[in-house]
């Protein structure tokens, strides 16, 4: 479902991603862990071209894009690949002047040119899925952080993406509200949604991840199943990190 080859990304003179190669199969939940500044979020944003890599190839489903110093992608090429992904940010990024229902409808109406009726019907189905049907007419400021993030997940799902990308979806939430969000992500995983999740929550990584990737200093240091990487790794850098992380 996702295939990344020889991916490089710099900000100024600082190389953030150094020749990343990664394959993620359809229906898998892949967790990306590692210290702050290791390149996790940049990798995630390169997957849907919110950050355009300096070089390398990104494939999602049937869409493939190769970037090099002499070949920069057009806006049309970027949008074609991006339509295969839904992104959920740590800061929710809901439109404050729109109701919950309108937030979910917005992309369907403006980008995908669906009628308001079709978009509204889809929004109601998704709100039911994330347990927020009764909040359809509320505004974001009237919701808890956990509820806002569940709306953000529903909005990302509305475009029926091939892949859902989550950038530390609970970093702004307390443990109780985090549990609400993780419950929704776990249900999506059980339904076979292909997902990539950047998180520092090792309990969630163990419970939901099919595969875990450990990044440090812009490269993939280690990868494997939760049991292999979180319980039985022999990599000293991964061991050092896990010894310092607490849920």
- pLDDT tens, 32-86? 999 999 999 999 999 999 999 999 999 999 999 999 988 999 999 999 999 899 9
Share above pLDDT 70 across residues of the chain, in percent, rounded to a whole number: 99
| Total of domains in the chain | 2
Alpha helices in the chain (DSSP H): 40-47, 75-82, 100-110, 116-129, 145-158, 175-190, 202-208, 226, 236-244
Residues 139 and 196 in one domain: no
Domain end point (choices 161, 181, 208): 161
Give the pLDDT score at 246.
59
List the 163-167 sheet strands across, edge first. 85-88, 163-167, 194-198, 29-33, 211-216, 219-224
Q: What CATH number does the domain containing 222 carry?
A: 3.40.50.300
Q: Tokens 């992608």 sit at which residue?
A: 73
Residues 96 and 65 in one domain: no
Band the pLDDT of 245: cuts 50, 70, 90: confident
Residues 66 and 187 in one domain: yes
Domain end point (choices 106, 131, 161): 161
Residues 167 and 78 in one domain: yes
Residues 170 and 239 in one domain: yes
Could you tell me the residue range of the domain that residue 9 belongs to?
2-84+162-244
Q: For residues 136, 179, 89 and 57, what is the CA-based torsion angle, rounded to 10 degrees?
A: -120
Integer Cα distance of 171 and 169 in angstroms: 6
Residues 68 and 180 in one domain: yes
- pLDDT tens, 132-151? 999 999 999 999 999 999 99
Domain end point (choices 105, 136, 161): 161
Residues 138 and 205 in one domain: no
- pLDDT tens, 197-241? 999 999 999 999 999 999 999 999 999 999 999 999 999 999 999
Residues 80 and 166 in one domain: yes
Residues 124 and 59 in one domain: no
Give the pLDDT score at 68.
93
Q: Give the chain's mean pLDDT.
A: 94
Question: Does residue 136 contact residue 82 with C-beta atoms inside 8 Å?
Answer: no
Give the pLDDT score at 224.
96
Q: How far apart are the first and last CA of the chain?
A: 30
Residues 35 and 97 in one domain: no
Give the pLDDT score at 160.
93
Residues 220 and 127 in one domain: no
Residues 151 and 194 in one domain: no
Kindly state the tokens that stand for 85: 């992904």
């Amino acid at each position: 479902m996702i295939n990344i080859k020889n991916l490089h990304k710099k900000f100024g003179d600082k190389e953030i991603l150094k020749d990343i190669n990664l394959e993620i199969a359809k229906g898998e939940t892949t967790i990306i862990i590692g210290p702050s500044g290791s390149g996790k979020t940049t990798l995630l944003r390169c997957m849907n071209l919110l950050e355009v890599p300096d070089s390398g190839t990104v494939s999602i489903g049937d869409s493939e894009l190769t970037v090099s110093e002499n070949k920069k992608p057009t806006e049309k090429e970027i949008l074609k690949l991006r339509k295969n992904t839904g992104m959920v940010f740590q800061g929710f990024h809901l439109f404050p002047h729109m109701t919950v229902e309108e937030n979910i409808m917005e992309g369907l109406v403006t980008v995908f040119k669906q009628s308001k009726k079709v978009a509204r019907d889809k929004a109601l189905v998704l709100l039911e899925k994330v347990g927020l049907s009764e909040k359809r007419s509320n505004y974001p400021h009237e919701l808890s952080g956990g509820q806002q993030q569940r709306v953000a997940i529903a909005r990302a799902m509305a475009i029926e993406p091939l892949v859902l990308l989550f950038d530390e979806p609970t970093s702004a939430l307390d443990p109780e509200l985090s549990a609400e969000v993780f419950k929704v992500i776990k249900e999506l995983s059980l339904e076979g949604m292909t997902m990539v999740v950047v998180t520092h929550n090792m309990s969630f990584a163990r419970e939901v991840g099919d595969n875990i990737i450990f990044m440090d200093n812009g490269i993939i240091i280690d990868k494997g199943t939760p049991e292999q990487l979180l319980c039985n790794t022999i990599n000293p850098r991964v061991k050092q990190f896990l010894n310092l992380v607490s849920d």
